[in-house]
Chains A and B, each alone.
Chain A
């Protein structure tokens, strides 16, 4: 992650609906350094130095999905939360986002989304992955039918991977007695970031 001189994280809002960009910006302004973009082109220009991107999916020209692929391909160290009116399907979970929220979203929800992405940025790879998988699984449970999920091999493998990661994380934590979780997290963070 690029470090910034200010203590505030930088949030880039990308949405082709200008009224929505300004609304989200107004909600976040007091706590974050906010940048606004209403198309992919503008987003590309403002991406450098951003800590968090809130990304709309359906946009004319380059879509949010395409922009997300670009971010991954360029290995930009940024947390991406998809913020879209599109209900995700199971295949969408293959994308490399870190969070997924379906519009409409209120100010509190938006703040909490940005906070959790900000928090995530401090995790090591193992916890990041754990977090992302948990988010994806929760998103699917919220948006898909139970029967559909029960039949999906993708959902099953996602759940398996999540369980595995949880166990590994729990093991790491068990090595620290006396509830010294801060130390444990520090250790995880440091070892992961090596």
Chain B
């Protein structure tokens, strides 16, 4: 379980919140604090005050995967293989293990055929799947998807959801603009001006 206690950061004020394993969608209008909530939960930024624990450990000591708002503009390497393998390389794992794990994740997301392509030549949807593979290659405890689908067409957004479900980490925290994608998630958190205003499944879902 992810537990958030007495959190205060920017406009975000969350006295107590717990998130069960599964896919949780965060909702809210522009400027409500969605990205801030995702960032502090992932340990990308340290909160001004408050405590966040993922299965009892602070976020920075956990393995976290992140898919950013613009998967096609946040690319480090030119070749698909190098991009997916980057997190493993940064951890200085031996080359054989890097190759093995990169191949495996590519296979599970059905993008093996892309490994030798250049990032620049991929379609938008393929780039998103590569970004997802890169986030999943370290087998994270928590995967965060920050508005990644707000610049995607619906087919591509669903492709990403399908790929995610075939390879789901224990916790997934995503912000989405598509109501029907949010409807199929396990849980939702609606925030407004920094406060959690509703919790739990949608009535109609």
Do A and B bind? no
Report B's interface with A, CB cutoff 8 A.
none
Report A's interface with B, CB cutoff 8 A.
none
